[in-house]
Amino acid sequence: MLGRMEINGVSAVVTGAASGIGAAVARQLADRGAKVVVADLQADKGEALAKEIGGAFARVDVTDTDQIKAAVEQATALGPLRVCVNSAGIGWAQRTIGKDGEYDSAHDLDAYRRVIAINLIGTFDTLRLAATAMSRLEPTDTGERGAIVNVASVAAFDGQIGQAAYSSSKGGIVGMTLPVARDLSAVGIRLNTVAPGLIDTPIYGEGEQSEQFKAHLGQSVLFPKRLGVPDELAAMVLACLTNSYLNAETIRVDGGIRMPPK
């Protein structure tokens, strides 16, 4: 028997869904018949996307548990919540110590805490609440109650100079994949992680200079020599959600890149 979790008619929560990989995931889920709650801080973009795909917008700061709960409740009202994708995150670059040997020049500790709070704790908070709602559902024909995908980064494995905070947060997402999948297996919920490489999202800015910068970055990719596009990542997220035998795994989608120190 081929295990494929049906997405048509279910509801989904996607964090960081107003742009980039999250938006591509939301569109692909909607194309397959899911009702998507676009959870993001960017209300203008989020509401526009929700309208475009026939979903709903929820203003969510992933460091606010009550806002996450409200988005989960909103999703359960649209249909059985069987899908959660955690794509919300921020970047930060700063070296661990400064050049002048002063304590005050060392890495900004509040910035480190903030990156961990959003990228790592926000991901765990969202998945624990979404999984709780999923656990109340009856299992599907494939015996599962739902599936969750977390978005990490290749920085979890080959973080560059200045990426201490970002790599810590993404490494934490990779590290929780197996134990959380083991926890959730008791109720028939799968968890996988996707680790993107260099992806063409708004993080690189816009205009001719940013295009040149992206073309330069693309040369360091093994093959194909370009940045990935959000739809390529979203396709892997969808595969993780629908393939019932894929569980507790972290998959790099990166064109084979191994990031150099800088």
Residue 87 is classified by DSSP as -
Task: Give, in degrees to the nearest 5, the angle at Cα 194 between 186 and 52.
Answer: 100
Q: Is the Cα torsion angle 39, 42, 47, 52 positive or negative in sign? A: negative
CA distance 241 to 231: 15
Q: Is 166 a catalytic residue?
A: yes
- Are 245 and 222 within 8 A, CB to CB? no
Q: Which residue among the candidates 103, 166, 204, 245 is catalytic per the annotation?
A: 166
CA distance 89 to 57: 18
As a dihedral over the C-alpha atoms of residue 168, residue 173, residue 174, residue 178, rounded to 10 degrees, the angle is: 140
Closest CA to 215 of 204, 154, 24, 158: 204
State the helix-helix crossing angle for 20-31 and 230-242, rounded to 10 degrees: 50
* 148 three-state secondary structure: strand
Active site residues: 166
